[in-house]
Amino acid sequence: MNKDVLDILVVGGGGREHAIIRKLKESSRCGKLYCTPGNGGISRDAECFDVKADDISGVAALAKQIKADLVFVAPDDPLVAGMVDTLEKEGIAAFGPNADAAIIEGSKVFSKRLMKKYNIPTADYEVFDNPSEALSYIRRRGRYPAVIKADGLALGKGVILCEDYVEAKAAIKSIMQDRIFGASGKRVVVEEFLTGPEVSVLAFTDGKTIYPMASAKDHKRVFDGDMGPNTGGMGTISPNPHYDEKTAEYCMQNIFKPTIEAMRKEGRPFKGCLFFGLMLTPDGPKVIEYNCRFGDPETQVVLPRLKTDLIEIISAIRDERLHEISVEWTDDACACVVMASGGYPGEYRKGLKIKGLDKNGQLKGAMIFHAGTRYNEGEFFTNGGRVLGVTAKAPSLDKALARAYDSVAKISFADAHYRRDIGKGFYLK
Ligand code: AMP
Ligand code: GLY
């Protein structure tokens, strides 16, 4: 990537990818922007194509056809399946970890064993590939809730918290025998139930140096008061009010640095964005999960706070000279309220007209990151479960939240659902 100005193809099509594209656009080194498959809002910022995000050979062919200087692979599936490896083999520069590093998200068994081997704090666990052995262990242990996790990727739904043996039995059956998550359920991790506030920390790393980004808090449940089923995320705030400097320092020394060192020692250097899902337990911070990519909707509140040129950071990561640059953040807070289709994460309608946005799908005073939208002749229509991430930045969290909610009030579509308590009551958890 010796060129100064880069034409970039972003792979993916959600709010995270829209936030990435918006940030890339701010760079003086940003040339043409492409996205596949993108969405309605992204199509106002980048030229979109209809190659699916997990179509590895299709993306490689597209990158060649449009002569992209860099492919930014954002979602977990193509990373875990080795899209970056294929692109690099074909001589196309890519941003994201190779498959042998992306396994840190792709296999919970891998990540748990890594943490145990390198003394990285996490919940105690056992691994099973036999359903009856898993169940007799759970019965013998007799402690509930029992946490059961499918080994592989499961659209963020592979974790089941079981209140008693009957629930555990049903969970083991559906994961390991009915295979509701497919081959991801061949093995399970059964682990200790942890308590405490959750924190998302994304980090830039070139495999040697690691720079944590501003912290964030996700709101995973669909209804106010953290009720209802888990979703991909109904809103985020940054910074996370629970994550103070002392905690950050502890995590740097005991979690972040040891993790990238462990990956290097295993011969799997991680280059890209590594996401730490942490729980601040009474015994100190512990890792709940690793993701091999930017989080969604964490990215929507973290990247707007980034002052340093994102393309400079990507270049430094690719060239393994991240230590040579510094990464700066604004002191502003950022809040994102997700407007979802009524019924999500279950069934919902699509194709409903969205009112209140300008012709670019934006609204003055906020950043509208599109997730499930479609563009047609100057109008936007719903096209997915999470529709828009209505985001605002301000000197304080309260102001950022007020601005985000002011904007939400100006946008409408039939059946729209959003949480009214994003960023509120965080002190209770
Ligand atoms: P994950 O997909 O691993 O992030 O898990 C989804 C959610 O399940 C997390 O955000 C936590 O709220 C919860 N969870 C996962 N593991 C545990 C655990 N060991 N103890 C308590 N809650 C957990
Ligand atoms: N918001 C959590 C994730 O991206 O997996």
What is the full per-residue pLDDT of the chain (429 aa) written as tens digits? 668 999 999 999 999 999 999 999 999 999 999 999 999 999 999 999 999 999 999 999 999 999 999 999 999 999 999 999 999 999 999 999 999 999 999 999 999 999 999 999 999 999 999 999 999 999 999 999 999 999 999 887 789 999 999 999 999 999 999 999 999 999 999 999 999 999 999 999 999 999 999 999 999 999 999 999 889 899 999 999 999 999 999 999 999 999 999 999 999 999 999 999 999 999 999 999 999 999 999 999 999 999 999 999 999 999 999 999 999 999 999 999 999 999 999 999 999 999 999 999 999 999 999 999 999 999 999 999 999 999 999 999 999 999 999 999 999 999 999 999 999 976 544
Q: Ligand 2: distance of its center to the CA of 274 in Å?
A: 12
Close Cβ partners of 136 (under 8 Å, ≥ 6 residues apart)? none
Minimal-distance CA residue to ligand 1 atom 7:
159
Residue ranges lining ligand 2, Cβ < 6 Å: 156, 218, 233, 291, 295-296, 298
Burial call 83-118: b when 16+ CB within 10 Å, e when fewer: bbbbbeeeebbbbbbbbbbbbbbbbbbbbbebbeee
> Is residue 222 lining ligand 1, measured as CB closer than 6 Å?
no
Asked if residues 248 and 72 have their Cβ atoms less than 8 Å apart, the reply is no
For residue 193, report the phi and psi dihedrals to the nearest 5 degrees.
-85, 125
Q: Ligand 2: distance of its center to the CA of 74 in Å?
A: 12
Close Cβ partners of 345 (under 8 Å, ≥ 6 residues apart)? 222, 229, 230, 231, 232, 385
Q: How far is CA 268 from CA 94, 110, 212, in A?
A: 17, 12, 20
Close Cβ partners of 415 (under 8 Å, ≥ 6 residues apart)? 341, 342, 343, 348, 349, 352
Record the tokens describing residue 173, joined without a space.
């059956």
Minimal-distance CA residue to ligand 1 atom 5:
159
> Is residue 156 lining ligand 1, measured as CB closer than 6 Å?
yes
Asked if residues 207 and 269 have their Cβ atoms less than 8 Å apart, the reply is yes
* pLDDT digits 0-9 by tens, 335-346: 999 999 999 999
Q: Ligand 2: distance of its center to the CA of 46 in Å?
A: 24
Q: Look up residue 310 and give its amino acid.
A: L
Ligand nearest to the CA of 150: 1
> Is residue 287 lining ligand 1, measured as CB closer than 6 Å?
no
pTM metric for this prediction: 0.96
> Is residue 277 lining ligand 1, measured as CB closer than 6 Å?
yes
**How far apart (Å, rounded) are the C-alpha atoms in residues 158 and 143?**
20
Q: How far is CA 334 from CA 17, 88, 213, 305, 392, in A?
A: 17, 35, 13, 7, 6
Specify the ligand 2 atom closest to the Cα of 289. Answer: 5
**How far apart (Å, rounded) are the C-alpha atoms in residues 205 and 314?**
10
Record the tokens describing residue 337, joined without a space.
């309220």
**How far apart (Å, rounded) are the C-alpha atoms in residues 214 and 331?**
10
